[in-house]
């Protein structure tokens, strides 16, 4: 799963974050902490658009905006489009899937300083694939009878699970959604955002995140957040199943993309 300094299992301690987060709330907690202390003044994340459950890129500037953006949509969000507004900020963290992170590293290498010189931290998400919005929503409507307006939360735990605003829980096998997978995902070999400063995902965990601290910069910022008591952690060795799943999904994606 790439180069790393260490791995831990962690979750946010703020109930405001855990009430809206996807799993452990680690990404939101890190961003909230660094915004509060001025380490960053903006965070590129996936927010919600006018269409129900439709992801759009935003640069969040407050805890309130982070809480509104929390959660996973599983349809593609062009987060890098938010870099058009990056000149308004001094120090920015970018949250993205492996393809987002790879793109930024290439931009830094060229370098495209107009868009990258204010980016100080990259937080990568675990990702097997993303789906076309219209196709996914049509499938959920036709196969499960769920309107996009009724969706409260989505989760993937071997299958896609939909939680509705009325309290229902429905699921659909991932194989039935394969036709709506974005074409580029078939060729991607990176599951855990190997070029990020910090990578975060759930890999079978409930209420917790597996956190891969990859760079010295990532370790520094993670330790700063830990010192504030914003995160609770436990040794990754206690979650052997999560480590096995991380290894399995990493190998699966590398094989699929080559």
| 23/58 same-domain check | yes
| 141/163 same-domain check | yes
- The CATH number of the domain where 114 resides is what? 3.40.640
Largest CA distance in the chain: 49
Q: What is the pLDDT of residue 202?
A: 94
Q: What is the pLDDT of residue 258?
A: 86
Q: What is the pLDDT of residue 155?
A: 93
> Phi/psi at 9 (nearest 5 deg)?
-105, 135
**pLDDT 10s digits, 220-251:** 999 999 999 999 999 999 999 999 999 999 99
Coil, helix or strand at residue 231: strand
| 174/190 same-domain check | no
Give yes or no for residue 257 having a pLDDT over 90: no
**pLDDT 10s digits, 30-69:** 999 999 999 999 999 999 999 999 999 999 999 999 999 9
Residue 1 domain flag: no
* Rounded mean pLDDT, 176-185: 95
**pLDDT 10s digits, 21-30:** 999 999 999 9
Are 221 and 30 within 8 A, CB to CB? yes
Nearest to 34 by CA among 14, 57, 62, 65: 62
| 198/228 same-domain check | yes
The b-or-e profile of 68-92 (16+ CB within 10 A means b, else e) is ebbbbbbbbbebbebbeebeebeeb
| 66/162 same-domain check | no
Rounded to an integer, what distance in angstroms lies between the CA atom of residue 201 and that of residue 212?
9
| 177/78 same-domain check | no
Residue 247 domain flag: yes
Coil, helix or strand at residue 157: coil
pTM, rounded to two decimals: 0.95
Nearest to 95 by CA among 73, 110, 84, 80: 80
Give the pair of three-digit tokens for residue 167: 């309290």
- The CATH number of the domain where 139 resides is what? 3.10.450.750
Tally of domains within the chain: 2
| 115/238 same-domain check | yes
Task: Residue 252: give the domain boundaries.
Answer: 6-130+183-256
Q: Tell me how many degrees the CA angle 162-166-168 measures, rounded to the nearest 5.
A: 40
Q: At what angle do helices 216-227 and 26-36 cross, to 10 degrees?
A: 80
Of the chain, the percentage scoring pLDDT greater than 90 comes to 97
| 149/120 same-domain check | no
Q: What is the pLDDT of residue 157?
A: 85
Cis peptide leading into residue 231 (ω within 30°)? no
| 84/39 same-domain check | yes
Residue 118 domain flag: yes
Q: What is the pLDDT of residue 151?
A: 95
Q: Which of 158, 181, 204 is the last residue of a domain?
A: 181
Query: Other CB atoms closer than 10 Å to residue 167's CB: what's the count?
Result: 7
Rounded to an integer, what distance in angstroms lies between the CA atom of residue 144 and that of residue 154?
13
Between 66-70, 92-96, 154-158, 179-183, the lowest mean confidence (pLDDT) is in 154-158
Give yes or no for residue 1 having a pLDDT over 90: no
| 122/164 same-domain check | no
| 78/100 same-domain check | yes
| 110/236 same-domain check | yes
Q: Which of 164, 181, 198 is the last residue of a domain?
A: 181
């Amino acid at each position: 799963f790439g180069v790393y300094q260490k791995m831990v299992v962690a979750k946010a301690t703020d109930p405001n974050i855990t009430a809206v987060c996807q799993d452990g709330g680690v990404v939101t907690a890190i961003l909230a902490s660094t915004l509060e202390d001025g380490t960053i003044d903006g965070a590129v994340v996936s927010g919600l658009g006018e269409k129900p459950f439709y992801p759009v890129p935003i640069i969040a500037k407050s805890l309130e905006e982070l809480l509104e953006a929390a959660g996973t949509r599983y349809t593609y969000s062009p987060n890098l489009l938010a870099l058009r507004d990056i000149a308004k900020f001094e120090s920015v963290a970018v949250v993205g899937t492996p393809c987002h992170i790879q793109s930024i590293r290439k931009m830094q290498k060229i370098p495209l300083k107009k868009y990258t010189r204010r980016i100080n931290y990259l937080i990568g998400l675990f990702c097997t694939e993303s789906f076309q919005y219209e196709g996914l929503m049509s499938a959920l409507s036709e196969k499960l009878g769920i309107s996009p307006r009724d969706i409260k939360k989505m989760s993937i735990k071997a299958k896609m699970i939909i939680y509705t605003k009325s309290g229902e829980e429905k699921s659909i096998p991932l194989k039935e959604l394969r036709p709506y997978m974005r074409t580029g995902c078939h060729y991607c070999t990176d599951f855990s955002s190997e070029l990020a400063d910090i990578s975060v995902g759930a890999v079978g965990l409930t209420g917790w995140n597996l956190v891969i601290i990859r760079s010295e910069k990532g370790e520094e910022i993670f330790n700063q957040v830990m010192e504030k008591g914003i995160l609770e952690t436990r040794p990754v060795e206690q979650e052997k199943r999560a480590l096995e799943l991380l290894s399995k999904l990493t190998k699966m994606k590398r094989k699929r993309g080559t």
